Amino acid sequence: MQLKNNNSIPLSDKNEMDSMTVWMPPRYNLDKIKFGTDPSTYEKAIALCEDKKITQFKKEFKSFSAIVLGTKPYKVYVSEKHYDRGNCECYLGQNEVLCKHMVAVAIYAVLGGEELSQDDKKIIAEPMCTKILGELTEGELTLIKQTIASALRYIKAYYGPSRNWLAYQDSLQEGCLRLSQITSDLPVSLQTTKLLVDMLLRLDVKLQRGGVDDSDGTICEFVENIVRVLQEYAEFDSSCLIAFKKLKNKQTCFGWEEPLVKLISKPSESP
Ligand SMILES: [Zn+2]
């Protein structure tokens, strides 16, 4: 996480600029903040927004500022370009850690002070099965495929150097959080099972040949969670089992397909 103090303009100039500044939204959106921040910090930041702890919010030159009411009032600056760059007077902020106060000000800037919707507040740390049968329309399927493809781009090769390691881990986590959200909105059917099986195979290629460094096990854990979701799919609608045939005789990176292949090998084993 790179933290930069944007408070470099003399106060008098700033005030002058405030009066002239037309409201411009930041260059990030709520999804960027939601999926880029670890879920517990995001949750705390939402609470700060809902409890109206963001006061004296101002558009500054290339940044936003506010006084966030925490244990004590903290002066917070957040860049208009990167929600995770800025400055906060709290202990974490002073130690270059992205704190809940900065995230709260970034959320406030994105929403222009409007209230958060239920969807904005919903945090999906792990993919879940909706337990609702149904198929996507052709248009929805195309859109979901595009969303999956763009989320998969966060799960990329690691080229070092080691000082980029934390940012790299954040990127893998962001990819998994985005994919978890997509998965957790899908209806259950053979169609969506195929979609998830293909997603797992693409992740597997990334892990085996794509240069992804999953030493922290973020991707492995995510893959295991999707396998668990797919087991639920099969329990819910047995036609989903057909999609698992694609996994037969595959050599995956850590044998994650085994529980799914087992489900389709049962009938042939019985006499
Ligand atoms: Zn802070």
Q: Residue 25 Cα, ligand 1 centroid: separation in angstroms?
A: 22
Token digits of residue 240: 């989903």
Residue 175 near residue 199 (C-beta atoms within 8 A) = no
Q: Residue 82 Cα, ligand 1 centroid: separation in angstroms?
A: 16
What is the pLDDT, as a whole number, of residue 71? 87
Q: Residue 97 Cα, ligand 1 centroid: separation in angstroms?
A: 8
Q: Residue 99 Cα, ligand 1 centroid: separation in angstroms?
A: 5
Q: Residue 102 Cα, ligand 1 centroid: separation in angstroms?
A: 6
Residue 105 near residue 111 (C-beta atoms within 8 A) = no
Residues of the chain with pLDDT under 70: 1-23, 266-271
User: What is the residue-wise DSSP string for 159-179?
Assistant: ---GGGHHHHHHHHHHHHHHH
Residues, beta carbon < 5 Å, ion ligand 1: 88, 90, 93, 99, 101
How far is residue 102 CA from its own chain's centroid? 17
Q: Residue 113 Cα, ligand 1 centroid: separation in angstroms?
A: 19
Residue 88 near residue 76 (C-beta atoms within 8 A) = yes
Q: Residue 198 Cα, ligand 1 centroid: separation in angstroms?
A: 41
**Taking the model in full, what pTM does it have?**
0.84
What is the pLDDT, as a whole number, of residue 161? 84
Q: Residue 220 Cα, ligand 1 centroid: separation in angstroms?
A: 32
What is the pLDDT, as a whole number, of residue 166? 87
**228 phi and psi, to 5 degrees?**
-65, -40
What is the pLDDT, as a whole number, of residue 77? 97
What residues does each domain of the chain span?
11-121, 138-266
- Of 121, 127, 184, 181, whose CA–CA distance to 150 is shortest? 181
Residue 64 near residue 7 (C-beta atoms within 8 A) = no
What is the pLDDT, as a whole number, of residue 241? 97
Collapse the DSSP code of 54 into the 3-class scheme (helix H, G, I; strand E, B; otherwise coil) and give the result.
strand
Collapse the DSSP code of 56 into the 3-class scheme (helix H, G, I; strand E, B; otherwise coil) and give the result.
strand
Q: Taking phi first (over 0 means left), then psi (-120 to 50 degrees means alpha), and beta for anything else, what does residue 56 get?
A: left
Residue 18 near residue 60 (C-beta atoms within 8 A) = yes
Q: pLDDT (tens digit, 9 = 90+) per residue, 103-124?
A: 999 999 999 888 899 988 988 8
**Residue with the two structure tokens 């101002």:** 58
Q: Residue 133 Cα, ligand 1 centroid: separation in angstroms?
A: 44
